[in-house]
């Protein structure tokens, strides 16, 4: 990466499910090795890929020479191999955030670790170079921090600014820019979205640093397009929306689908960008990527027994968890003998304090009159 600084992470080519997030391009767990008077490892990899990381470290230096480990984040895709490193380098000192210390102690037997919690502004010397720690709580766990090396203008940003993207190319000028940005967008929408305020605080801090390279813990390293990704993070974290509606639904016998298309047409007529997402064919994590800048989220479900179709309830669970702020919600659907699907959906969304601006359901099959009524109602909402 730079003189004496190496990527020693692991490529997870086959990863397709990251706790519910469809990672169709796999991922990487980026660990970084710094050769200085103190040999330093920034983060590690998922446990099952420990040997990949060890081989990469061993191609540079004996693992037992590691003096310092920085754990920017407790989640086990980055901390999973710390114990294995400490078995080979038992005297290495581990630096982490205050919440990180508690988290590591909860995940591992740290009784023999030389573990130090550091706050924002703490700087350690590695010899010729130094590391400064900056807490970034809730981007996206309470323990997250980033680490900055001023001598190289290099930021180890951990999860922030990352992408789930398996690749042998390491840098943003070696890979399709559009694909990197698409995966960065998906990553933000599915991991970082609930924490816009915290992201904006972090961006303020980062704006005071002189940065030439951003090395996240997943995917491609930024050295050419740093301004672009920071600009996108500024936009996404602001929760500003575009004139856009995402219509998400599943259907049993086509009734809810007819309603979905009727609603979409009204948005089209008003000049909205629209996106129609059948839950049978679209993954919830890809739908969230569409929702990142949508003013309206429309959710449709038929009634199945006493509630929603399971595909819709899974989507609603995911949506409520990620809690996009400031969106307007429309709900719709059909029922046979129990008017339950939309009712249960509304209850969930209302409990999550989502702003439902219009809701409707129809018995069995929407008539022409029903569809005309729905079209008029949506038109009214958009006026
Ligand atoms: Fe990539 Fe929050 O772990």
DSSP string, 190-251: IIIGGGHHHHHHHHHHHTTS--SEEEESSSPBBSSSHHHHHHHHHHHHHT--EEEEEEEE--
* CA angle in degrees (0–180, nearest 5) for 141-85-61: 120
> Other CB atoms closer than 10 Å to residue 68's CB: what's the count?
20
| pLDDT score, position 37 | 98
Query: Would you say the CB of residue 244 lies under 6 angstroms from ligand 1?
Result: no
**353 dihedral zone (left: phi>0; alpha: psi -120 to 50; beta):** left
| pLDDT score, position 366 | 98
| pLDDT score, position 121 | 93
Q: What are phi and psi of 132, to 5 degrees?
A: -120, 140
Task: Specify the ligand 1 atom closest to the Cα of 159.
Answer: 1
Distance in Å, CA 25 to ligand 1 centroid: 16
Residue 159 a catalytic site member: yes
Contact of 325 with 239, CB cutoff 8 Å: yes
Catalytic residue of the set 52, 143, 159, 370: 159
Catalytic residue of the set 140, 152, 183, 361: 140
Chain centroid offset of residue 284 CA: 13
Distance in Å, CA 191 to ligand 1 centroid: 9
| pLDDT score, position 314 | 98
Q: Ligand 1, atom 1: nearest CA belongs to which residue?
A: 159
Residues of the chain with pLDDT under 50: none
Residue 283 a catalytic site member: no
- C-alpha–C-alpha distance, residues 321 and 223, integer Å: 33
| pLDDT score, position 35 | 98
Residue 164 a catalytic site member: no
- C-alpha–C-alpha distance, residues 190 and 248, integer Å: 16
Residue 187 a catalytic site member: yes
DSSP structure class, residue 366 = -
Query: Would you say the CB of residue 164 lies under 6 angstroms from ligand 1?
Result: no
| pLDDT score, position 375 | 98
Distance in Å, CA 76 to ligand 1 centroid: 7
For the stretch 160-205, pLDDT in tens is: 999 999 999 999 999 999 999 999 999 999 999 999 999 999 999 8
Residue 257: asked if its preceding bond is cis (omega within 30°), the reply is no
Distance in Å, CA 362 to ligand 1 centroid: 43
Query: Would you say the CB of residue 46 lies under 6 angstroms from ligand 1?
Result: no
Residue 75 a catalytic site member: yes
Distance in Å, CA 224 to ligand 1 centroid: 24
Q: pTM of this prediction?
A: 0.96
Query: Would you say the CB of residue 250 lies under 6 angstroms from ligand 1?
Result: no
Residue in 378, 379, 368 with CA at minimum distance from that of residue 258:
368
Compute the Cα dihedral for 330, 254, 340, 189 and give only its sign.
Answer: negative
- C-alpha–C-alpha distance, residues 44 and 46, integer Å: 7
| pLDDT score, position 113 | 98
Q: Ligand 1, atom 3: nearest CA belongs to which residue?
A: 75
| pLDDT score, position 357 | 98
Distance in Å, CA 166 to ligand 1 centroid: 15
Query: Would you say the CB of residue 78 lies under 6 angstroms from ligand 1?
Result: yes
Query: Would you say the CB of residue 72 lies under 6 angstroms from ligand 1?
Result: no
Query: Would you say the CB of residue 237 lies under 6 angstroms from ligand 1?
Result: no
Look at residue 339 and give its three-state secondary structure.
coil
Query: Would you say the CB of residue 217 lies under 6 angstroms from ligand 1?
Result: yes
| pLDDT score, position 97 | 98
| pLDDT score, position 105 | 98
């Amino acid at each position: 990466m730079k003189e004496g600084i190496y990527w020693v992470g692991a490529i997870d080519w086959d990863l397709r499910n990251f706790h519910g997030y469809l990672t169709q391009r796999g991922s990487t767990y980026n660990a970084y090795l710094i050769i200085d008077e103190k040999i330093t490892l920034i983060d590690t990899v998922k446990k099952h890929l420990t040997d990949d990381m060890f081989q990469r470290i061993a191609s540079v230096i004996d693992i037992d020479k590691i003096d310092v480990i920085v754990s920017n984040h407790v989640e086990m895709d980055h901390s999973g191999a710390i114990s294995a490193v400490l078995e080979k380098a038992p005297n290495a000192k581990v630096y982490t955030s205050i919440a990180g210390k508690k988290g590591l102690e909860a995940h591992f037997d740290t009784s023999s670790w030389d573990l130090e919690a550091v706050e924002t502004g703490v700087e350690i010397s590695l010899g010729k170079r130094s590391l400064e720690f900056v807490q970034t709580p809730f981007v996206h766990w309470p323990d997250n921090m980033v680490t900055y090396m001023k001598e190289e203008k290099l930021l180890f940003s951990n999860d922030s600014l990352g992408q789930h993207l398996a690749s042998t190319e390491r840098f943003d000028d070696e890979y399709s820019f559009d694909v990197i940005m698409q995966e960065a967008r998906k990553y933000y929408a599915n991991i970082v979205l609930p924490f816009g305020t915290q992201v904006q605080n972090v961006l303020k801090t980062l704006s005071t640093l002189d940065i030439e390279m951003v090395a996240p813990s997943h995917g491609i390293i930024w050295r050419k397009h740093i301004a672009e990704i920071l600009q996108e993070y500024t936009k996404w974290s602001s929760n500003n929306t575009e004139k856009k509606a995402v219509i998400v639904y599943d259907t049993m016998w086509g009734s809810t689908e007819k309603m979905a298309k009727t609603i979409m047409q009204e948005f089209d007529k008003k000049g909205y960008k629209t996106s129609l997402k059948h839950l049978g064919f679209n993954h919830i994590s890809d739908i969230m990527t569409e929702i990142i800048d949508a003013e309206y989220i429309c959710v449709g479900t038929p009634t199945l027994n006493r509630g929603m179709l399971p595909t819709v309830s899974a989507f609603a669970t995911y949506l409520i968890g990620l809690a996009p702020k400031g969106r307007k919600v429309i709900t719709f659907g059909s029922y046979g003998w129990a008017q339950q699907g939309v009712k249960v959906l509304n209850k969930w969304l209302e409990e999550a304090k989502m702003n439902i601006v219009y809701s409707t359901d129809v018995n069995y099959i929407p008539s022409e009159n029903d569809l005309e009524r729905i079209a008029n109602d949506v038109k009214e909402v958009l006026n």
